[in-house]
Amino acid sequence: MESDMPNSLFQQYSRLVYEQCGINLHEGKKALLQARLNKRLRITGIASYKEYFHIITSGANPGEFLNFLDSISTNLTYFFREVQHFEFMNRVGLPELIEEKRKERDTRIRIWSAGCSTGEEPYSLAMCVLAGLPDNVKWDFKILATDISTRVLETANRGVYSQEKVKKVPPALRQAHFLKVGGTEGNPEFQVAPHVKRLITFYRLNLKDPYPFKGPFDFIFCRNVMIYFDKKTQEELVNKMAGFLGPGGYFCVGHSESLTGLAHKLSYVQPAIYRY
């Protein structure tokens, strides 16, 4: 493997990633990019960073360009991550939404998990909402879950997780919404039950591209995604996504993120939660 990438080539990669998906690969990310590229060079047998750049930008191998985007996106996630959002939904957001929907005789509930990674977030949202919905009404409840990475979407669609992964799911929810399936070497795995899976549509989406849906959404979760973008891109994306919220809809970002300093039409509710 190559040991170092010339700065001029790093700038070309950085510009490509920014133009294609808005992710800001600053100088501090050079070592990370090299490590991820080394893996692709080993798998493909391509000899150098320069040759790899030519292949993914020539249009000759669009599949490898998707593999490249997959390799640079970071996908740390787990069930009920940043639990404050789920507590807010249980305590305030969902009861309030249900009350409003009852007044309007509206049974439609829509949530968008943008940057859904391997599926833990949308499945957590589904379990959270199912626990709070009154069962005397037939609700039209659906979740759209999107990510730029085809690799993580395959895992999300499969909906099978290790015992370690599901530890953060409260026992009652784990019992109600997962099926224990055989794992390897005596380690059981847990599959999301069909009644939960059918609520969620997984879809590959680059947040910079036009959105092929109309909304409106009652909640948009875009958590730990904004940190990869510069301020200009953050502002563009927040306003673009907020346009898909229904009146009074909630927009949630990660707890390490904030919309401070961005021009937008959302109102602050509490840390990491905003309202349209």
> Which tens digits make up the pLDDT trace of 100-157?
999 999 999 999 999 999 999 999 999 999 999 988 789 999 999 999 999 899 999 9
Q: What domain range includes position 53?
A: 7-72
Answer whether 147's CB lies under 8 Å from 117's CB.
yes
Give the pLDDT mean for 160-181: 93
Cα(109)–Cα(194) distance, integer angstroms: 19
The answer to whether residue 79 is domain-embedded is: no
Asked if the structure places residue 181 within a domain, the reply is yes
Residue 78 lies in a domain: no
Question: Is residue 51 domain-shared with residue 124, that is, in the same domain?
Answer: no
Burial-class residue 136 by CB neighbours within 10 Å (0-12, 13-18, 19+).
exposed
Last residue of a domain, one of 72, 97, 116: 72
Residue 25: band (very low, low, confident or very high) from pLDDT cuts 50, 70, 90: confident
**24 and 155 together in one domain:** no
**250 band by pLDDT with thresholds 50, 70 and 90:** very high
Average pLDDT over residues 88-96: 96
Q: Looking at the 3D structure of the chain, how many domains does it have?
A: 2
- For tokens 């996630």, name the residue: 77
Which CATH number covers residue 212? 3.40.50.150
Residues 139 and 24 in one domain: no
Per-residue pLDDT, averaged over 3-28, amounts to: 85
- Residue 202, domain member (yes or no): yes
The percentage of the chain sitting over the pLDDT mark of 70, rounded to a whole number, equals 97
pLDDT(268) > 60: yes
251 in the Ramachandran plot: left (φ > 0), alpha (ψ -120 to 50) or beta? Answer: beta
Q: Which comes out higher in pLDDT, residue 203 or 215?
A: 203
141 lies in the same domain as 36: no
Tell me the mean pLDDT in the region 70-99. 89
Is residue 23 assigned to a domain? Answer: yes
> Stretch 191-220: mean pLDDT, rounded?
96
**CATH code, domain carrying 60:** 1.10.155.10
- Tell me: pLDDT of 1 over 60: no
Could you confirm whether 105 is annotated as catalytic?
A: no
Is the same domain home to 15 and 100? no
Average pLDDT in the chain: 91
First to last CA, the chain: 49
- Shared domain for 64 and 124, answered yes or no, is no
Q: In terms of domains, do 66 and 181 share one?
A: no
Which strands, in side-by-side order, build the sheet including 267-270? 200-204, 140-147, 108-114, 217-221, 245-252, 273-275, 267-270
Pairing of strands 160-162, 217-221: unpaired
What contacts 194, CB < 8 A, 6 or more positions away? none
Question: What would the pLDDT profile of 33-62 be if each residue is shown by its tens digit?
Answer: 898 899 889 989 998 999 999 998 987 787
Residues 43 and 98 in one domain: no
Domain boundary residue, one of 72, 104, 126: 72
Over residues 15-32, the mean pLDDT reads: 83
Q: What is the pLDDT of residue 235?
A: 96
Task: Identify whether 1 is part of a domain.
Answer: no
Domain co-membership, 25 together with 161? no
Check 40, 70, 147, 223 and give the catalytic one: 147
Quick check: is 159 in a domain? Answer: yes
By three-state DSSP, how is residue 100 classified? helix
Residues 147 and 235 reside in one and the same domain? yes
Judge whether 4 counts as a catalytic residue.
no
